[in-house]
A and B are shown apart, each in its own frame.
Chain A
Amino acid sequence: MVGSCIGVCSTCKSGSALQWGPRLHTFISRGQIGRSALVQLMNTTDINRTKDIGIGKRRYINITAVSGGGRRMRPTVNAAAIETLQKGIAEFYDESSGIWENVWGDHMHHGFYEPDSSVSLTDHRSAQIRMIEEALSFASISDDPPRQIVDVGCGIGGSSRYMAGKYGARCQGITLSPVQAQRAQALAAAQGLDDKVSFQVADALNQPFQDGQFDLVWSMESGEHMPDKTKFVNELARVAAPGGMIIIVTWCHRDLSPSEESLRPEEKELLNKICNAFYLQAWCSTADYVKLLESLSLQDIKAADWSEYVAPFWPAVIKSALTWKGITSLLRSGWKTIKGALAMPLMIEGYKKGLIKFAIITCRKPES
């Protein structure tokens, strides 16, 4: 609940502002909304319109607000909301990982392509491997191969197994999805990597590791799921060993210009729809990530926009979904997977409009 505010959104009948998904709400306070409660509400949503109607001793406030999206790095939303989101993420991946693997293989991330190239479906797996290699290269990893790696948001372990094979390193993967963890371990065993990689069901916002364990902290397209970017980045930094590298590859929204307070309403609306389908909570910009890393005194921070290198990806995913194999798989899957599939054109729209960026951000934890 928001402080002393008691009310129900007339649209979705939800009683707690902080449990809103990213959507538009009309929130009418039935009781007097305390100042601190209003401040808290404003900090976690974008208030479009506030109308203060005083009737006798009670104050009614009609607030039309959109939560999620926007520029400000949201402070922690309440734990219950995060738990609900995480359950949604787990279920989404429990349901859809098998289908993805069936059609695309064991890497659940974008491929890296030559700009403006035309690619066939068979090129995509090598493009996905190239993505891993390009990310490692961007971070200049080859100078000092890692020994202990953590794969944050590991999917079915594609990156973990690849890097374990490449470096002979040990890799720990964490995912919210028990189905993914099982599958990841099974694939590792099948590939003879069972002694090198292991997977846990765990929360990237509360990683079950002691401080400073990993030479390489790897987050390949999982950052977009994190409802609290500050906590997410804090945990990445905490588990990194002194001198260790952090590599984040993630979906961001465009950087804001100096005169902008937030994204435009139609931009937020597009991101909200995508959030809904893919169980994302919050978007931030590449610049926001850089600021977070700077605030933790991490060094050698580098960032790049790789949007042009991933352009063929979503059209290819859609094409694969429309094949006989794709359609039959989707029909056998659940509603969550289908909803995700239906949202794919929105990703293309987002990229085309320059709203969605495919970003890489890397840095190093100081030695001491």
Chain B
Amino acid sequence: MRLLTHNMLSSNIKGVTNGFPLLIEVEKVVEKQVDFNEDFLRNMFPKIEWKALVEASRTMGYTELPENAESSMLDSDEFLRKFHHALIELHLEEGALVCPETGRKFPVNKGIPNMLLHEDEV
């Protein structure tokens, strides 16, 4: 699971008012090199919850992202590469996503999160 996906996932357990962002429990992180696509990054940037991305990337062991970001930074090649690396190249292979309110863990196995709710959570 890459952080682009993590940035879209939330916990919809019954009664939870804010299930985003999910906390990350890391067991295994893998880095997969992907070709850089500037247009894609520019399009994605406004849709990304930046704080969630920074927090998640730090949990995954990557500390290069700035605390805050604005669209003017997209002109910097260096920024784009860091953004690209955090968003696309870091993968949580094994671990869990954790509901920020209930602490409930959604397992991640072989890079696939299992977001199914139990019957008492719907």
Residues of A at the B interface (CB closer than 8 Å) are 79-80, 82-83, 86, 147-148, 168, 170, 172, 174, 176, 178, 181-182, 185, 194-195, 198-203, 205-210, 213
Q: CA A198 – CA B8 in complex, angstroms?
A: 11
Whether B57 sits at the interface, judged by CB under 8 Å, is: no
Asked if A199 contacts B112 (CB within 8 A), the reply is yes
Considering residues B9, B20, B32, B116, which has the most beta carbons from chain A within 10 angstroms of its beta carbon?
Answer: B116
Residues of B1-35 at the interface with A, using a CB-CB cut-off of 8 Å, are 1-2, 4-5, 8-12, 20, 32, 34-35
Whether B119 sits at the interface, judged by CB under 8 Å, is: yes
* Set of chain A residues within 8 Å of B110, measured between Cβ atoms: 182
Asked if B119 contacts A203 (CB within 8 A), the reply is no
Q: List 29 A-B contacts (CB under 8 A).
A: A79-B119, A79-B120, A82-B119, A170-B4, A172-B8, A178-B112, A182-B110, A182-B112, A185-B112, A194-B32, A195-B2, A195-B88, A199-B112, A200-B9, A200-B112, A200-B115, A201-B112, A201-B113, A201-B114, A202-B113, A202-B114, A202-B116, A203-B116, A205-B122, A206-B12, A208-B115, A209-B8, A209-B10, A210-B10
Considering residues B11, B112, B117, B120, which has the most beta carbons from chain A within 10 angstroms of its beta carbon?
Answer: B112
Asked if B116 contacts A201 (CB within 8 A), the reply is yes
In the complex, what's the smallest C-beta–C-beta distance from B18 to chain A, in angstroms? 10
* Set of chain B residues within 8 Å of A198, measured between Cβ atoms: 1-2, 4-5
Residues of B90-122 at the interface with A, using a CB-CB cut-off of 8 Å, are 106, 109-120, 122
* Set of chain A residues within 8 Å of B34, measured between Cβ atoms: 194-195
Residues of B at the A interface (CB closer than 8 Å) are 1-2, 4-5, 8-12, 20, 32, 34-35, 40, 43, 47, 88, 106, 109-120, 122
What residue in chain A is nearest B112 (Cβ atoms)? A181
Q: CA A79 – CA B113 in complex, angstroms?
A: 22
In the complex, what's the smallest C-beta–C-beta distance from A111 to chain B, in angstroms? 28
* Set of chain A residues within 8 Å of B32, measured between Cβ atoms: 194
* Set of chain A residues within 8 Å of B113, measured between Cβ atoms: 200-202, 208
A194-B32, A198-B1, A200-B112 known; A208-B9 Cβ under 8 A: yes
**Contact partner, A178, options B12, B47, B114, Cβ 8 Å:** B114
What residue in chain A is nearest B107 (Cβ atoms)? A201
Q: CA A198 – CA B2 in complex, angstroms?
A: 9
**Contact partner, A203, options B20, B43, B117, Cβ 8 Å:** B117
Asked if A201 contacts B115 (CB within 8 A), the reply is yes
Q: CA A201 – CA B115 in complex, angstroms?
A: 6
* Set of chain A residues within 8 Å of B10, measured between Cβ atoms: 208-210
In the complex, what's the smallest C-beta–C-beta distance from B28 to chain A, in angstroms? 16
* Set of chain B residues within 8 Å of A80, measured between Cβ atoms: 119
A194-B34, A208-B10, A209-B10 known; A202-B115 Cβ under 8 A: yes
* Set of chain A residues within 8 Å of B115, measured between Cβ atoms: 174, 200-203, 208
Q: CA A79 – CA B48 in complex, angstroms?
A: 34
What residue in chain A is nearest B119 (Cβ atoms)? A79
Q: CA A195 – CA B43 in complex, angstroms?
A: 15
In the complex, what's the smallest C-beta–C-beta distance from B13 to chain A, in angstroms? 9
* Set of chain A residues within 8 Å of B1, measured between Cβ atoms: 198, 200
Q: CA A206 – CA B16 in complex, angstroms?
A: 13
5 more contacts with CB within 8 A, not counting A203-B116, A206-B117, A210-B8, are A83-B118, A174-B115, A178-B114, A207-B12, A208-B9
* Set of chain A residues within 8 Å of B2, measured between Cβ atoms: 195, 198
Q: CA A201 – CA B111 in complex, angstroms?
A: 11
* Set of chain B residues within 8 Å of A213, measured between Cβ atoms: 8
